[in-house]
Amino acid sequence: MGCSPGAISFGKELSQFLSNLLYMKEWWTHGGCWTLAQALHEYLGDDRTELWGIGSPFAGTAYHVAVKADDCFFDADGASTLEQILKRWKKKFPGQYLIARKLSDNEKKTLLCKDSEDFAVEEMVDQLTLKLGPSELLWRRFFS
């Protein structure tokens, strides 16, 4: 299954928002994915989304974290299907076997609880709300 047209549209707005001015896309794709994923998870609703990690099944932690809503994954690059996000990360780690999986509760507690020194999760949630509107309206606009 692919991402719905609404999810693709939301992904484009998200990626553009992160690329503008203060929100340098390079930051979000080089270590900031943890903060962004946690903020998106809170903003979109932790009852509607899941935190997923991309990485080696042999590594103790994920290389990348994205938010999954329905059959679509969201990160600084926008909306991706499972195949697309794995393909993108396989380019960064050629020759490695990579998987995508839902993060465990322990991973969420230990890896996602720390805010970046540059940008706090709650500040990011506030910025998403200011730019994209309340999440309930966003769900009706993009995911209904």
**Long-range pairs, 62-66, Cβ under 8 A, ≥24:** 62/103, 62/107, 62/111, 63/89, 63/92, 63/93, 63/98, 64/33, 64/89, 65/33, 65/34, 65/37, 65/103, 65/111, 65/112, 66/33, 66/37, 66/100
Per-residue pLDDT tens over the stretch 73-105 = 999 889 999 999 999 999 988 998 999 999 988
How much is the pTM?
Answer: 0.86
Per-residue confidence band for 41, with pLDDT thresholds at 50, 70 and 90: very high
Per-residue confidence band for 27, with pLDDT thresholds at 50, 70 and 90: low
Per-residue pLDDT tens over the stretch 42-73 = 999 888 999 999 988 887 778 899 999 989 99
